Amino acid sequence: MSSSKSAHENKDDLQDCLKTLRPLLDDFSRNTYDDLTDHGTLIRALQQTRNQVERCTLTRKSKAAKRKDGGGDIATKQEVDEMGVRIWNLTSDYKHSVASKPKDIGLVASLYHTAFRLIEASTEPNPPFELTARLLRACSAAIPFLAQSGQLELAEELTHLGAEYQQILTASKLSSTEENRERNHVLSTFLLARVDLEISRKNDNLALSLMMKAAEFDVMGGSKYQELVTKCWSISHDLIARKKQANQIPFTTAPIEWLQQGIAIIEKMRKIGLNTPTVEDIHITILQSIAQEQISNAPKDPNYLPKAMKTLNEIVKIGHPIDGLTAYQSRMVQIHLLSRERKPTNENGIRDVLIGLIENIEWSEDQINEIFAQAQVLAEHYPILPLWICQSLLDAACGKEEGGEDHLSRILYEGIIIARQSLVGQSQAGYNAVSSMLETIVKNSSQRHLDEIGIAAIQLILNEVAEKSFENQGKLDEAAQWYLLAAHPALPSGKPERANQCRRKAALCLVRAGKLIAAKELLRGFPLEEASTHYLAFLIATEENDFAEASSAIDQLMECRDVEAGHLLLISTLSNKEGRETFMLDTLQSLLDALERPDVEDSLRVERLTLIKCMVRITVAQLANKSAEKDIVGNEVVGLLDSAIRSLRGDTPLNQEHAKTVSWLYKSAYNLGVAELGNFSAGVLSKLFDRSAQLIDWYRRLDPADVDSNMEKTRALTMFACFCGKAFQYRDLPDGNEKFTLRNQLLQYYHAVHKALSSADGGPNTMKDLLEVYRIELLCNAHRWEEIRGTIITLKSSDRTDNDATIRILEMVANLLLDYPDCPTSIIHHLLQAIIGLCGITNQAEVVRFSRWIRGIITLLFIRNTPEDLARAQDYFSRTLKILRTPLGREYPQDEFHWLIATTWNKGLAEYGSSRMESASKWCRIALTIAETMPGSVSQSQEMKRQYLEMFGQNTQ
């Protein structure tokens, strides 16, 4: 009685659980897609329901009780079954609508587990085939999610129950093929559930065995097979992921084994006619995974590399219309694998793969970028292969009606870039490749598909290649080839001048390479109205030393409207060539004359200065030839400097652009004059320095900001040197109008030179003194004595800190005046007075200087012989005696001593002979006094005393 009551209570409790569960399931069905729903209450209700099912008499352990109870409550069984089916259906919908999060997996596991327990509880013992299949299907649904959620014991428990159902189904005698397929379907599903459990238990070897058994069943339709294949692929990726995790138990099976099992299932599907596009896509995916595994294993085992190549070939060769991207990616991987080995023998294999890749290219930017990137990688070990890739791509692009032509500019540009890189070791191969690509464009009439920007970029890169070869003088022929490629007919442009410019550069390379015939041939196609055409003609004429052709080319160049300063500069640069100095001088002179035309623009006319600079350089270089006539060369330079000065007199703002040239010219003129002081005549030297000074004045006007004290000094020096040269020239001229004119010019020029020397910071006084001496010389020649007197007064009264310097210039003037007999003695006397007045006696040199000039002034006074002059003379003798009586008197020159004694004694004797006794006695006493001071003159002094006594007596004072 109690047992029956307990069963009844259990049924009531189960109904209560179902009653509680029902609204929760209603709520769950309405919130299936809501991830934020709290499923805790539902899971607890499911757990309570399973607990009540276990207690209920409907479990296997309660079968006997059921029999005693008359087979149980049919209404309750039906209610339980309906609830189980409902939960199963809800779960099947839910598991496909939510992400596989841990909480979702646990919920699904709980739902499926509860559904199975309810269905199991509502099923009679020894059920028929359909119900047994249903039980195994429900059990199989719960096992994987229980395993994934970590409930391995429950999963194991259900697996044991499932095994019982498996045995029952396996032993069942079926009446139809449909039932057989259904059984196989259910049994394979159970085996897949066991696979999931064994994978969770890290028993992957058993799992693979179960997978192989599941694949042996013949099932209805392809979906089940696809599920098997997908699971193989999924498990392989799980194994790969787990291998990368730390602290993981290693698996006994390799991921590739699972993938290969997937391939085996696909092969089985094909045999039974279940091959579909979906299956092929899965096939490709698995093959890609196999290839990845083989590639990753290749470093450890080289045998995997050919296996990977074979797998990739299978992907490419799959019969159904696979997407081109998959085949493209597979071929790219093959190229990578072959190139990675770096074997020369692999080049043909790479070409074969590339052929298939290019033939099936989709002409997308991404694919083209990847191909060129791969070409760059291949270039290191297969230098010619990238060029072949570019040519093959170009051929394909030209041959395609759609798609490829849009990429022609890009392909051609990249091809040239690769060719440029190959120039280091394969220069001719690079050129041939680019030439071939351009010819392909022309051959296929594909020029119209090249865009203007692409053409400009291509020409730019070709120019860069050419210029790099041009910089290497040993590759001028190569540079010409590349320039001509830049002007190739395959590169039409809205700016034809670009192609003309490239052809002109090619011609220039040929000229410099000495290929004059080829250059002339190329020149014939150039426009005659362009100045650059005639410049090239001039260049060729120069190389052939043909002055007539060179002059003709210059004339035609100057008639072109587009002639510019650059052409003249290019011509001037040729002046640096050795061995053609005379030719270049004549040529530059022709150009210089052409620039004098009235129709020549100022912007070109000012370039005369540049040409003159070059001509001066060439002319000066002739002085190195010892046989050259120095003055002739010097006058040629002067003539060129005159031309420069005439050009500057135009005084246009454009002259300022040539200030540096003017600076170079004045420095060159000055340096040349200094260097050739001993070789040029005074006339040539003076002209050089004069032109230098004039050019300095022009430079100061053109660039006043650059004027400094050094320039002012240089200007003063050039003017002084010019004055000196003209002064020397003046001396050499015979008397006449020319000499008269030059003297007046110099006297006028003196003021400018004196001002320049005075203005120069720390101006050289020595030059100013010499300038005064030269001026006095000119004044002497002009008999302008009063001006000389004024100059002497100025010199004597000049505010100089160096008294000795004043004496020296006065001495120079004295020496000069003494050479002019008609110079008034008053001027000379005044000058000598000034010298003696400034003399300080502090050393031997000053004593010697004093002795010289005292003799000069006394001589002059004696010549004039007036009482005033004789009195002054006596004063000078008195000053001299004072010096002789000092210790420095011993430094007085002996010959001057003798002169003083002889002069005064003789003067006394002359006065004595004229009966002027008093004057005679005075002069004789002066002589005696001087004689007494002279060292070693005792005997002479005694003799003079004796004579004196005889003449004047003892009492004479």
pLDDT of residue 321: 44
Terminal alpha carbon distance of the chain: 198
Q: Give CA separation, 950 vs 344, 914, 915, 953, in Å.
A: 135, 17, 15, 6
Rounded Cα distance, 691 and 670, in Å: 9
The 3 state secondary structure assigned to 430-452 is HHHHHHHHHHHHHHCCCHHHCCH
Whether 695 and 641 have beta carbons less than 8 Å apart is answered as yes
pLDDT of residue 318: 65
**737 burial level (CB within 10 Å; 0-12, 13-18, 19+):** exposed
pLDDT of residue 957: 46
**612 burial level (CB within 10 Å; 0-12, 13-18, 19+):** buried
Whether 687 and 676 have beta carbons less than 8 Å apart is answered as no
Name the token pair of 467. Answer: 């210029």
Whether 277 and 257 have beta carbons less than 8 Å apart is answered as no
Rounded Cα distance, 360 and 155, in Å: 51
Helix (H, G, I), strand (E, B) or coil at 275: coil
Q: Could you tell me the mean pLDDT of each successive run of 10 residues in the chain, 957 residues long?
A: 48 80 84 61 87 68 47 68 89 70 76 89 85 89 89 91 88 80 86 86 83 73 72 76 63 73 74 67 68 62 64 60 58 65 66 73 80 78 80 82 79 84 71 88 85 86 84 78 86 76 85 84 80 80 78 76 67 62 75 73 74 84 79 89 84 75 88 86 87 86 77 83 84 86 85 81 67 83 83 71 69 76 76 72 76 79 81 82 82 84 86 85 87 74 83 63
pLDDT of residue 65: 46
pLDDT of residue 801: 53
Whether 357 and 331 have beta carbons less than 8 Å apart is answered as yes
pLDDT of residue 60: 46
Burial of 45-82, coded b for 16+ CB within 10 Å and e otherwise, reads bbebbbebbebbbbbeebeebbeebeebbeebbebbbe
Which among 662, 680, 665, 766 is positioned nearest to 722, based on CA atoms? 680
pLDDT of residue 4: 46
pLDDT of residue 158: 92
pLDDT of residue 139: 92
